[in-house]
Amino acid sequence: MSSLLARGGMAFLLAAGPAVPATQARAAAPALRRVAFACPGGQILVVAFDTADPGAPAVVEPPGGPAVTLPVLPHADGIRYGDTNHELRGRGRAVTWTEAGSPPVACAETQPGP
C-alpha cells in the first residue's frame, strides 16, 4: 500500500511540474497598482497599472462608463494609453482622460500610492 501511495505521490509531483521558488513566482505575477484620480464634479477615475511591465495595458474605469483596457501608446515621458475612442495621458500625479466626442478631463491622484 505504501509503495502505491509513493508511486501515486510521485505521479502527482511529476504532473504538477517543477517547484518554483516563491520569489520567482511573485516576479512572474503582475504587480497591479490601482490608482484613483479625482476629476471635476466629484467624479473618480480609477486606473489599474501593471508596474512590473511598462508595456502592459492599463485598465481604466471611467466615471460614467464600463472599464476599458488600453494599450500603451508611444510617448516621450509620463504615461500614455489609448485606442481609437479613448486616451489616458499623464505625468506625475495628474492625468488627462479623453473619450471620443467629449472634451478632455483633467484629474489628479486622490491618494499617493506606494
- The domains of the chain, with CATH numbers, are 30-109 (2.40.128)
Question: Average pLDDT in the 38-51 region?
Answer: 95
Q: What is the pLDDT of residue 27?
A: 54
d(CA 79, CA 56): 12
d(CA 114, CA 57): 20
Nine-digit cell string for 92:
506625475
pLDDT in tens, 50-97: 989 989 999 999 988 899 999 999 988 899 999 999 999 999 999 999
